[in-house]
Structure formats: structure tokens, C-alpha cells
Structure 1
Amino acid sequence: MKVLKFGGTSVGSSNNINKVIDILENYGKEDAIVCVVSAIGGITDKLLLAGKQAQNKEDAFNDTFNKIKDIHFNIIKELNPTNSDAILNYVDEKLEALKSLLEGIYLINELSPKTSDKLVSFGELLSSFIIAETMKNRGLSADRKNSQELVVTNSNFTKAEVDYKVTNNNIQDYFKSVPQNITILPGFISKSKAGEQTTLGRGGSDFTAAIVAAALKVDQLEIWTDVSGMFTSNPKMVKQAYPIKKISYQEAMELSHFGAKVLYPPTVQPVLTLGIPIHIKNTLDPEAEGTIISHDPVNANGPVKGISNINNIALLTLQGSGMVGIPGFSKRLFETLSQEKINVILITQASSEHSICLGVEAKDAPLAKSAIDAVFENEIALNKIDPIIVETGLAIIALVGDNMKNHQGISGKMFSSLGKNNINIRAIAQGASEKNISAVILENDVKKALNTLHEQFFETKTKQLNVFITGVGNVGERLVEQIKQQKKYLKENLKIKLRVVGLSNSRKMIFNEEGIDLKNWKEQLENGEKATLDAFFEKTKSLNLRNSIFVDVTANKAVADMYAKYLKQSIGVVACNKIACSSDYENYRLLKRLSLEYNAPLLFETNVGAGLPIIDTLNNLIASGDKVNSIHAVLSGSLNYVFNNFNDKTKFHDVVKQAGVEGYTEPDPRIDLSGVDVARKILILARESGVEMNLEDIENISFLSEAGLKSDTVEDFYETLIADEAHYQKLYASAKEKNCQLKYVAKFDNGKASVSLQEIPEGHPFYNLEGSDNIVMFYTKRYAQQPMIIKGAGAGADVTASGLFADIIRLGND
């Protein structure tokens, strides 16, 4: 004999019920079948709603009743298109009884637990009758047996306790001689010894099936639901979650208690003692392997078997110096909650005995506070303890696994990975058995926490990065294209799953939590929503994704001013925008401090030298104990390009224009040609060397004409270049006469910095610097005579984009 149970979703439509009947017919060819069914999906909730509406004197209970009636009638007609009259007449009679019950509740304005059990029992009674009669109509050997005639309980309404001795005898006696091959039983419902209708608690259909399986000592209990087993985490929140093939009874109970809705926790109890395995199967995918729950499962998933959560939690804290060393506080606290029938989900107490924290359902918090404050009224009045503190908007996440106790560092990995993603932990509970490690967090952080932990414990060292890019002009576009090109390589070779989740330009912005399709991102962006810096930040923040990275591909001060907001949310920042790190020294230090405090990386390698590893090299020198004495550098690829292409046969205006076309200068070339851009770069290097310095401390000797310096607009500036051609030709002629090359040089020496156009003699390392190349010479304590030199392309959209991309990848490797 086999025992199968089908849940509400499995019998939630005529289509699904047909699948159930097919499964039963197939099983019935070889074995006698006991099939326990839940109410049609959503009906129990509607019954409770109707009861509450009637109790509150709301006429809307009639509308809810009619919805219940329509759902059942429609399913009956769809299942039995030519032979439904008898079923409809019976169901209509039962529904009239239901309506009379609701009208009675309406009249007396009361819904007691006893009446509630009578009310909700209609769901299973109707679904089991409809399924059994449909099977009969199709010629199958099937019949229904009312579980209320088998399962006997006490009178603890809404969650009755089973009298196993009487119940087991009833079940065994009945199934000794049943004529039908398939017996349909309504789950969840029972009767007290006094003959009153009771229920086994929400989810009790699983329990009914387990009771029957244990009484009949079957080889296996099958629970059929709408998912393919118990998953490593909630698949609706964690896309990478997958079914657990085998799991122990204890692990299954822990996961069930902590929100895994596939299994009702008490289900395990009747079959655990007898060692009857439970097989979780999928009605919608009968061939799927599912999950087997047994005494000794193979430990294929490692020490952690699953990650689960409970939402709508309130944290109650009882604290005060008067508690220390005084026995009895805990006893009084728990007795109070027990008397109010408030279930405690989590308990944690500091060894100092100064405080006790309790997790309860949020709906119970007001009653709990009122009751506890009343019990401890005297101690509160004497200031020995504080009034109970209630925190809401919380959730519990839990790691579950029998073998966690045999593996060091599980809790360390858990809390470290949560901390890195700015998930604050309000309370922790861990038993000595270490089958369950629980933490209380904000409910808004649940999805991020589950994904973070799943990545840590279940995924093959693959780290998901969620990237938000502001600025998709020349460099930004190249960055997006590089990401699109390298996504597969990153996943296969570096185990980095990189998703661009947000994109913005100055006008529009788009977001996709699952990752923007980069094949047509330009069209999507054109049709996106209106962009503002604050809106982009708020959306990034609200998505609350793990390993989030904000990438600034602009030269905009307003964007740079947003960095602190991102860092405070533990969102990493990658920037080619030099404004933030060359801003006031206090702001620079603030960003550095926030990066450390919130564990949010701040990377800006492209601030100096585009894709060249200049800042990284400098940081490594400092970190290894070296000391920078001086820095000599050509740091502007734009200016190097200009002066490498300017001579007595060209015009300065034309060369500058061409540099803009090639993408070497900013849209406003004055930023490059005024020396401000180079000054910012040497300032950043000086600061990274450990020197406190501001931009105004740098001597900037400009080579521009007076008119060029005073120009108000970009157009005016270009006009001055034409007018002052002789000024620039004079600079070239002077260098040529001395057989020198013009290079715009930045220097940092003895705590002072300067930038200026210089005539570089032949033989100097800067002399043959070609194209838009940059070069940096670090003179340090270790490199005192022969400097460390870094040289290469220092400007251009592709190399700048690759530098940004390298910083992003670096975060993936951390």
C-alpha cells in the first residue's frame, strides 16, 4: 500500500486535478493507494476571510462565499463536462450549510476556535468528494473516506492533538477490508473524542498523511506539491537554488520550521520513529527526482543542507541591570508568553544576564509587550528593568545541516559574508548541536541575505557582481561592450557572474534585476525612465542586491558627490571621474574611511593613467613598507598626443580639435590644456603616497595664452587657439632650437607638487614618449637611484574602459 498526499496547488485547478488523477491511476495499477488531499488552492484562506467578515458584520462575506461557490462549481463542470449533476447537487447542499454557518457567525458577531474549525473543514471535505466522484465517473476503483471518522483528537481547536492509540486502531481496522483500490481522504480535519469537528493546524494535510502512513507502516510516504522537492533555498528568491536529493528528518524539520513551506513540521513526527522515508514530489513534473527525507541521507551537499527564512518577525528585548544575578526573570517571562499562547521562535541571552531577546511573530508583538510590561510592572517602576523593547520589520534567516558541528568556520563564513554586504544582524541563536544557526535581520535584507549565503555555501565558487553604470558616452559604451564580450569568459575562467543591472545617461535610465540584455541596451535606454542622480541611487539602494558596484564613467562633480551615499549602503564604487579623489582633502579621507567602515571598495585606478596599473603599483609599494621620495610623470595622454602631433607644419587649434575627435580630451578641452586635469592626477598620487595636500597646493604653470585662460566657453576657447597660434608656435620653436621635446610634466618632490610644460632633452626617459602614452617614475626608498617606471597608453576610450573593467573584476576576485 502507498500513501500519497496532494497539496492545495496540486488540486488548485481542473488541469492540476487531472494530473493528480493520472498519477493515482498509474500508481493504482500495482498497489492499493491512500490519497490525502488538501482543500482547493486558496479556499482555506477564503473561508477564514469570509468568517472574519461575518464576525465583523461585513456584508462582503456573501461575495467571498459566492467566490468559493463559483470556484468549486467551475472545477466540477470542467472535470465532469457530461456527468456533473450529482456532484453539483451534493456540493451545493454542503455550500448551503456553509452559508448558514456564516450567517450564524454574522448574527452572533462571534467566531470561536470551535466554529473556525467547523468553518475551514468545508475546504477538504469538498475537494476530496469532488476528486473521488470524478474518479468514479471515469471508471476508476475509488471512493472517499471521511478522515473525521478515523483521526481522533482532543478538543484543542485549530491545532488539535492526536490520540494515536484510537486513531491507529481506526485506520488499521478500516483499511483491512476496503473494497476500492484508491481511497481519497480529506487532510487537515479530524474529530474530538466528544465528536466535535477539529483540525490539525494549517498545513495539517501533510500531518494526516503521515498519521495514516505510520498507522499502516507503509514503505514510503509521498508528499506531492508544486515544486520538485525541498530546495537549498527559496527558489522564488534565489534563482540558483536547486532541489536537495536527500536530507535527514532533523534537517527537514529545521527547514520546515524556518519557512520551507514544502513540508508541515509535525508531519515528520509520526514517521520518524518508524523510519518511514518521506518523498517530496512535484505534481506538475512527476518525473522529477524530488527529495527523500530519511534517517541517514548521503551527505552530498556538504555540511550545510539548506538556507531558510521566516518573515514578519518582531524582536522583544527585556533588559536592565536589575536582572543580573537574580533568578526567576526568564521563568516569569516565558510563563507570561505561554499564558497568552504566544509562540517563541528564537531566544538569545547574553552571558551577562543583562538582557534576553525573543523572536515572535509580528502580529503577537503588541499583546506580548502589554502582557510582559504588566507582569514586570513593579520592577519597571523601580527602574530595575526597562519596559519591553519591541523591534519590528525583521526576519530570521537560518543555516541548517546535521554536519555543521563537524566543520569549523561555518558561522564565521555566514556572518562574514553577510557583513560584507551590509546586512546588519540584530540577534544570533545557535545551539550546541549546531544543526541550525539563526540570525535576525531586517526583512528588507532577506533576499540579499539568502542569495549571499547561497553563493557562499552552495555555488561553485562563482561570485555574482551586480553593476550599475552611470555615464554611457564614449568610454561607458566601450565598457558595456567589453562586459558583453567577456561575460562568458569571466564565468568560465574566473568564476565571476557579472550582470549589468542599471544603466544611465544624463537623460534616461533603465534597470533589470535579472541583468539588462546587452544586445540592445541602447534601444532600451532610449525608452527608459527619466534619469536623475538621486533616482538612480534610490533604485540601486532599493534593489538591495549583493555585491553591488556603482561605476561612474563621467567627469561630473554632482555624480562624484554621490559616492558617500553609495559607500554607506556597502555599494562598491569604481570611478574614472577624478573629481572625488582630488576634492577637498577631508572629503577624500571621508570616502576612504567610509570604504573601510562599510566594507565597500572604492577603486579609481583609471583616475591616473587610464588602464595603466599606476595607483595599484603605488599602493603595493606603500603597503609593503616602501616610502615615496618623489614622482616625475607625464600624466596627460591628451597633452602628450597634442604636443607629439604639433609642429611648425600644423596648427595648434587643429591638433587640439583632432585630439577631441579621437577621444583623448574631455568634451571641454580646457580641463586638459589648463593643466587642472594633470594637477588632479599628481594630487591623487601624492595623497595615495600618504601626503595631506589639496589642489590649490599644487603649482600650476600654464602654457595657455592669457586669452585662452580667460575664455568663457568652449567655442571662445577654440577661437583663442586660432588667434594665438603664434604664441604656441613660439613654444614649439624654443624646444626645437634646443633639440628638446615639449612634454607636460607633473612633479611631486619633498612634499611639494607642480605641473608645467617643459622642454625635455634627448636621452631623458620622457623624450621619446609617443602618441598618447603616459609615463610615471617612482623614486622611493627602495628605488632611490633607478626609479620604478610604468609606461603605456594613458588615454583613449578603450584603455580607460579596460581600466574600469579591471577594477570591476578585481572586486569579483576579492
Structure 2
Amino acid sequence: MKVLKFGGTSVANAENIQLVKNIVQKESTNNQLYVVVSALGGVTDLLLNTAYLASQQKEAYLETFGIVEQKHIEVVKKLIPVTRQSAIMSELKRELNILETLLEGAFLIGETTPKLLDKIVGYGELLSSKVIQAYFVTEGISSVFKDSRELIKTNEQFGKAQVNFEVTHQNIQDYSAHNQTDVTLLPGFIASSLKGDSTTLGRGGSDYTAAILAAAVNADVLEIWTDVSGMFTANPKLVKQAVAIKEISYQEAMELSHFGAKVLYPPTIQPILEKEIPIHIKNTFLPNEKGTRISKNTNGKNRPVRGISHIENISLLSLEGPGMVGVPGISKRFFEVLSYQKVSVVLITQASSEHSICVAVATEDAEKAKKALDHSFAYEISLNQIKPTIIENDQAIIALVGDNMKSHQGLSGKMFSTLGKNNVNIRVIAQGASEKNISAVIKKVDVKKALNTLHERFFEENIKQLNLFVMGVGNVGAKFLNQIEQQKKYLKENLKLNIRVIALSNSKKMLFQEGGISLNSWRENLENGEKADKELFFNKVKSLNLRNSIFVDNTANQVIANTYAQYLKNSISVVTCNKIASSSAYQNYQELKQLSRDYNAPFLFETNVGAGLPIIDTLKNLIASGDKITKIQAVLSGSLNFVFNNFDDNHEFVEVVRQAQTEGYTEPDPKIDLSGIDVMRKILILARESGYQLELEDIKNKSFLPESCLATENVEDFFTSLATQKEHFNQLYQNAKENNSRLKYVAEFNNGEASVGLEEIVQQHPFYNLEGKDNIVLFYTERYTEQPLIIKGAGAGADVTASGIFADIIRIGNY
């Protein structure tokens, strides 16, 4: 014998009911079935709204009542042949007339009592079950209708009545003993008091109806048919990577359903727990999928956390004050007040100092609870011994659930550190002695981020998802995106990193796709994006509130550099090749570094010096290990090195600079490179990362450019000026040639002072043979005194700069 329950989505319309018929027809070939059904999709809410309108004496209630009536008539017309409709239509009309009378009563007296409301809302299940049973008969299924109100007896707590199991079980067993029909159709949700008044078992009570029946008839299994393929490791609407749990224990299922897993009504398990009747949650629309089996024994011992659940629309109520310390009975009074107000407490925590009590309740009950508590403790409040009750709205509860969590150490630490790394602030923590769940109250806006972060940590083989928001898709940006696409599989398999690009922007357009932008067609998609707006870009990044968010700046734009602080303040990491921020005023540089620490959001700028070379990272490691920088000598401009390595008797200086710009070795404005500003910024950053406090104006710039070149106001004028100064540049080259030297633009930091300038380098110097666009850095430290630590390699170019940005992204992934 089986009990099958079909929820509202399963019987939402005629098409879905046909699927239900197919399932029942198949299951009934070898089993006697009790089939419990919910109301047609949306009908319960319609009935509640109709009752409300009637109680407000608004004649619009007749319109919504008409919708309810039409829904059922349409289903009958679609499912049952015209020649066989008369009987069910007559039955529908009779029940609808009674319902209309009840609503008219509410309209006339201008109110609905809980008792009357139970009668009204129960008609959803009553009507659907009668229609479905009539349809089954026309399809040749041997079936009868049985009114659940005749079997399930309750007290008179209307709205959420308590079942009298002794009487109920006897009624069901007496009926079952004489029932020979293959399929018995019963309405879920509804019952009746011992006096015969209609009652309801609470929203979601159809599951409960089915469980009560299963326990009474000792069913082989209770099948809950719904619109998802079982209980999931997390809400699949919020966590795309969530998967169905094949097997789970009764206790785990109860915990998950209590904490918001809507697949199962929380009280459902209780009636069948003692008899160990398994529950099977199945998908009406994918009946061949395995779903979730809930039973006493499961195979989940190897995975301590079986699921992550949450409850939204939670408020925190806090009662605190010195007058609570050491005073017996405060907690008793506190919870009695809530009990009298019928306020359900979802979570409790109390400080060991007895200075405060904090509970989580449904937001809809918060104001009522505060009013009652303030009234109860009015005397203590008047003496300033206790503060008025504090309400904090817009909260949510998240919970890790698993029977075997108690045998695995460190789960709480993993949970809280994982949330902390994404700046999910935890307001309250609760863990029962059974250690079957760990619960925490967080801000409602952080729910999606928290669920995804925890799911990634406990269920996804430690594959970490990084969400990138990329500003600037020119030479460097385009190469960067290409490298991500190329390495995606490698990163996932070897580094356990899943990198998604969520947003792109250039100076004209921006594009957001929460599920990730396809990097095969990003150019076309960006072209069709919305108008670029840096403030709107930031606001969208913030509102998405994704875990492991990283803002990537591939521009050289001052305005963009000024936005870093607002990203960091929202726990969004920043990776940039833009040198402006780190070489700005020392106070701003320090503020960004401090924000990075305060909000646990890395601020990385390896490519600010040496493109893809690990110069800054090496420097950081030296400092972290206790070494001290005493001197730095470096050729830090790949573009200038390229220029002076290619400038000779056969090439004019202006031609070589144009070539460097065309090949992407210089900034868009080459004057930034040739004026020395770019190198000044780089040596400044190295000095600051070495622990010294310097400003840009503290650096001595020995410029090789004539004043007329420096005075130009745009790129073309700058190139024209370079051409007119041909003799000046030729003379610099000839002087070096005569001295058997080569021209190199050198940056130096020594004894707290920094300078940059063009120098003639002799053959014995490490800089002499530096070719192409290469950079070289010599670090002299307290450990490297005579022979410096040398870093050498390509220091310019879109490819290597992109790889440096990529390396910073990976550093964050491994953080």
C-alpha cells in the first residue's frame, strides 16, 4: 500500500493533472493507493484574497470568486468528455454555492473569523480532489472520493489545528479495513474538529495529511510528488550548482524543512517517524528521476553536511540591560509573553553574562512581539534596568544540516571563516547539543552569496568560483579575456578555480550577465550592451552581491582609479594594471591598503611594475620574511627600453616611438612613458611597498625630453615635437656610442631617496645587455648585500601584462 501526495504545481492545470493521472495509473497496477491532492495552482491564495475583499465589504470579491469558479470549470471541460461532465458540474456548482454563501456572510458582517476562514480556504482542496477523482473515473481508474474531514479530527485551533491522533488513526483504520477500491482520492490540508467544524492543518498541510494517512494504514512508502526532483543540497533557484540528495535521514530532512526547504512541510515526518515508513520525494514532471528517499538509515556518513537551508523574512528581537543579570525568571517571562501572542521563536541565543536575550521570529510577528514585551517589562524599562525591545528587520537564517556533523571537528570554523572571507556579517549563532545543525542569522541581502559560498565550500570539491567585473577591453583587456577562455579547463581541473566574467565595459558600452558572459562572442555582445556608466557599473556589481567578486581595471584612467575605495568597502577585490591609484597621494595609497585589510578584499597591482614579472610579489615576500630593502636599481620601462634598443643610426627617434605605441609597448599617450612619469610611478610604488613613505614629487626626474616636447597638449603634437627635435635625440645616441655605452632609462631608490633618468650604461653593468622590451630590477637588501636579487624579463606588451593580471586573479583564488 502506498500513499501519494501531489502538490499545487502538480495539479496546477489540466495538463499537469494528466501527468498525475499517468503516475497514478502506473502505480496502481500493483498497489492500493491513497492519493492526497492540494488545491489547483494559485487557488488557495485566491480564496484568501477573496475572503479578505469580502471582509472589507468590497464587491470585488465576486470577481475573484468568479476566477476560482472559472478555473475549476475550465479544468473539467479540458479533462472530462462533454457527455460525462454533468455529474461533476452539478457537484461543483453545489459546493461553489456553499462557498459563495460563506463569502457573502463575510461581506455582510464585514469580517472573517478564523473559524470561517478555515471553511473558506478548505474549498481549494475539496474542489480539486472531486474534479480529479471524476477525471480518474473517466480514464478507467477504479477510484472513490473520501472527505478527509471525516477521517482526520483536530482541536479547534483554527488556521493550524492540532490532530487528535487516537481518534484519527481509528477512523482511518476503520475506513481502510472496508475499502477495496484501487485508488482513494482525498483532499489535503483540511480536517474537522470533534464537533464537526472544518479546520485546516496549516499552509503546506497536504503533506501532513498524507503522512497521517501513511502512518495510520502502515503504508510501504509515502511519495511526495512535487515540481523538483527531491530535496537539494541548497535551494536550486539560488544555487545553480545544487544537486538532489539521493538519501537522507528523517532528522536531517526535518532540520532542512524547518529551515526553509519548501519541498517538505516540517510536521510531515513526525507521524511516520516511529513506524519508520520511508518518504520518497519525486518530480511529477520528471517521474523517472530518482528523487530523494528519506528513511532511518542513509549512506551519508562520508559527507557530514547533507544540506544548506535558509529562512528569509526574519527579524531579531533583543532584550538587554543590567537589570537582567542574576534575576531569576526573566527568560520565563520573556518566552511566556511570546507564547501568549502565538509568536513562534525560530532561533534563540542568550549571553552567558545574562545581560541579553536574543531571538529570531518571523518579521510579520516582530512588531506585535515588541509591543507585548515592552508592556510586560514596562516597570524595568521605566527604571532603566532594561532597554526597550530592539527590532532588527531584513534578516535571514542560514543553516548547515547533517547527522554526522558532530563527529567532524572544525565545521563551525569552516562555515564562519568561509562567510567571513566574503564579508557576510553574522549577527547571531546557534548550535544545538545534538550538533545536527549550525545556524546563523545574516542580512537578508547576503543570502544568495552566503548559500553559494557555503555550497562551494562543502559540496563542490572545493572548486572556488571567482566572479570578475572587467573594466577596459582594449589590447590588454582583450588578451586577458582570451587567456581566461584558453585556461578555463586547466584552472578547474588543476587549481580548482572556476572563473566567470560577469561584466565587461569599455568607454562606450557595458554588459552584465549574471550567469557569465560567453568569451567566444563577448565583442558582439558588448557592442549590443547598454551605455557605459561607471557609477551604474559599480551599483550593479554591488547589487549582484556575488561571492568572490573581483573588479579588474585594465585602463589607465584616473576616474576609474578613484573608484577603487568604494569597491573595497563592499568587499569586492580589486586587480589593476592602472598605476594611478598606487602612485597617488600616500594617504590615498594607505587608505586603499587599509580598506583591503578591513574588508578582507585583496587589492593587487603586480602589473603596475614590470607587467607580468613577479616584482611586487617578490618584494612583498622579502619584507614578510623580515628582510629590509636598502637599495633598488631598475630599468622599469619596457617601452623606453624598446625605444632605446631600437633607436640607432638607421632609425629616427620619432619612428621608433610610433612603432612602440603601435605594438602596445607604451601607454596610449607615449609622453607618459617618455617624460619619465610612468617610471617615477613605478619606483614610487616599489619604495612604498618596501615600507617607505614617499610622494611622487619627492622623486627626482632627470628628463631627456626638451621642454618643447613636454609642453605639448595632445598625442599628435607630441609626435610633431619629437620630429622637430631630431638632432637632440641623435646627439644623445652618438654620445653614448662614443663612450662604448648604451642608453637606458634607469630608476634608483637609495637611502630613502628616488630618482629616474636616462643614463649611459657601460658594458660591465647588468643593464647593458637588456634587450627588446625587457625590464630588470636589482634588489639590494640586508640579506642581499653584495650580489643583488635580480628579476629580469619582458616588462611590456599586452600579452605579458594580461598574464600578470591573470596571476593576481589566481592569487586571490588561492587566498
Q: Distance in 2 between matches of 1:713 and 1:752?
A: 32
Q: Does 1:459 align with 2:472?
A: no
Q: Which residue of 2 aligns with 1:351?
A: 352
Aligned residue number for residue 477 of structure 1: 478
Counterpart contact for 2:348–2:430, Cα < 8 Å: yes
Query: SS of the counterpart of 1:426?
Result: strand
1:57: how far off?
2.1
User: Residue by residue, what CA displacement relative to the aligned partner does 1:700-743 show, whole Å, maximum 9, x if unpaired?
Assistant: 11000110111122222111111111111111111001010000
- Aligned counterparts, 1:185-334, within 5 A: 185-299=186-300, 302-334=303-335
Task: Return the alpha-carbon distance in structure 2 between the equivalents of residues 698 and 159 of structure 1.
Answer: 77
Instruction: Write the letter of the residue equivalent to 2:14.
Output: S
Equivalent residue, structure 1, for 2:46 = 46
Q: How many angstroms apart in 2 are the aligned matches of 1:152 and 1:503?
A: 61
- Corresponding residue for residue 560 of structure 1: 561
**Whole-Å separation in 2 of the counterparts to 1:504 and 1:63:** 50
Q: Residues 643-722 of structure 1 correspond to what in structure 2 (within 5 A)?
A: 643-722=644-723
Q: What does 1:173-192 align with in structure 2 at a 5 Å threshold?
A: 173-192=174-193
CA distance, structure 2, for counterparts of residue 198 and residue 473 of structure 1: 67
Corresponding residue for residue 110 of structure 1: 111
Change over 3 Å in CA distance of 1:380–1:704 after alignment to 2: same
Distance of 2:773 and 2:722 partners within structure 1? 21
Does the CA-based 8 Å contact 2:301-2:404 persist in structure 1? Answer: no
Structure 2: gaps (5+ residues) = none
**2: CA distance, partners of 1:396 / 1:377:** 30
| Displacement after TM superposition at 1:508 (Å) | 1.1
Partner of 2:122, secondary structure, is helix
The question of whether the paired residues in 1 share the 8 Å contact of 2:576 and 2:805 is answered with yes
Deviations along 1:524-545, whole A, 9 cap, x unmatched? 1111111121111110000000
Q: Distance in 2 between matches of 1:26 and 1:493?
A: 47
Q: Which residue number corresponds to residue 490 of structure 1?
A: 491
* 1:442-480: CA deviation from partner (whole Å, max 9, x where unpaired): 111100000001001111110000000001111111111
Please give the secondary structure, in 2, of the residue aligned with 1:287. coil
> Which residue matches 2:810?
809
> Could you give the per-residue CA deviations for residues 288-346 of structure 1, whole angstroms, max 9, x where no partner exists?
11111111212156111111011111111101111111111111111111111111111
User: Aligned equivalents of 2:81 and 2:652: distance in 1?
Assistant: 89
Q: 1:690, CA displacement in angstroms? A: 0.8
Residue by residue, what CA displacement relative to the aligned partner does 1:744-785 show, whole Å, maximum 9, x if unpaired?
Answer: 000011111100000000121111111111011111111111
What is the SS of the residue equivalent to 1:671?
Answer: helix
Cross-structure match for 1:620? 621
Equivalent pairs, count = 814
Q: Is the 8 A contact 2:148 2:190 kept in 1?
A: yes
Deviation, structure 1 residue 266: 0.9
Q: Provide the rounded CA distance (Å) in 2 between the counterparts of 1:659 and 1:86.
A: 88
Query: Which residue is 2:365 aligned to?
Result: 364
How far the C-alpha of 1:287 sits from its partner, in A, is 1.1
Distance 1:245 1:6 in 2: 20
Once the two structures are superposed, what CA deviation does each residue of 1:675-719 show, in whole Å capped at 9, x if it has no partner?
Answer: 000000001111111111111111011000110111122222111
* 2:178 alignment partner, SS class: coil
Q: Is 1:782 paired with 2:783? A: yes
Q: Distance in 2 between matches of 1:589 and 1:315?
A: 37
Aligned residue number for residue 387 of structure 2? 386
1:559 maps to a residue whose letter is I
Letter in 2 for 1:185: L
The residue number in structure 2 matching 1:21 is 21
Cross-structure match for 1:799: 800
Aligned-partner SS, 2:516: coil
Identity %: 63
The amino acid that maps onto 1:12 is A
Supply the distance in 2 between the matched residues of 1:37 and 1:263 (Cα, whole angstroms).
14
Paired letter, 1:760: I
Shift of 1:58: 2.4
CA distance, structure 2, for counterparts of residue 219 and residue 507 of structure 1: 65
Residue 305 of structure 2: SS of its match in structure 1? coil
Residues 1:67 and 2:67 aligned together: yes
Amino acid at match of 1:190: A
SS at match of 1:228: coil
Q: Output the CA distance in 1 between the equivalents of 2:42 and 2:252.
A: 28
Give the residue type in structure 1 aligned to 2:713.
D
Equivalent position SS for 1:759? strand
Q: Equivalences for 1:120-131 in 2 at 5 Å? A: 120-131=121-132
**Distance in 2 separating the partners of 1:69 and 1:673:** 81
CA distance in 1, matches of 2:360, 2:291: 32
Contact preservation (8 Å) 2:319, 2:387: yes
Query: In 2, distance between residues paired with 1:203 and 1:410?
Result: 32
Report the AA paired with residue 728 of structure 1: F
Distance (Å, rounded) in 2 between the aligned partners of 1:521 and 1:63: 50
The residue type equivalent to 1:331 in the other structure is K
Q: Where has structure 1 moved over 6 Å in runs of 4 or more?
A: none
How do 1:80-99 and structure 2 match up within 5 A?
A: 80-82=80-82, 83-99=84-100
Instruction: In structure 1, give the amino acid aligned to 2:687.
Output: A
Structure-2 separation of matches of 1:776 and 1:262? 61
1:155 is matched with 156
Q: Using the TM superposition, give the Cα deviation of residue 81 of structure 1 relative to its aligned residue in structure 2, in angstroms.
A: 4.0
Look up the equivalent residue of 2:182 and give its one-letter code.
N
Tell whether 2:661 aligns with 1:633: no
Tell me the distance in 2 between the aligned counterparts of 1:453 and 1:301. 18
Q: Structure 1 counterpart of 2:243, which letter?
A: Y
Instruction: Calculate the TM-score normalised by the size of structure 1.
Output: 0.99
Unmatched segments (≥5 aa) in structure 1: none
Q: Distance in 1 between matches of 2:643 and 2:104?
A: 89
**CA deviation string 1:504-562 (max 9, x = no partner):** 01111111110011121111111111112111111000000000000000111111111
Q: TM-score normalized by structure 2? A: 0.99
Which amino acid in the other structure matches residue 6 of structure 1?
Answer: F
SS at 1:466 equivalent:
strand
Q: How far did residue 115 of structure 1 move?
A: 0.5
Distance 1:428 1:645 in 2: 65
Aligned twin of 1:430: 431
Shift of 1:63: 2.1
Measure how far apart 1:60 and its partner are.
2.3
Counterpart in the other structure of 1:509:
510
Q: Answer yes or no: is 1:525 the counterpart of 2:522.
A: no
The whole-number CA distance in structure 2 between the counterparts of 1:490 and 1:96 is 66
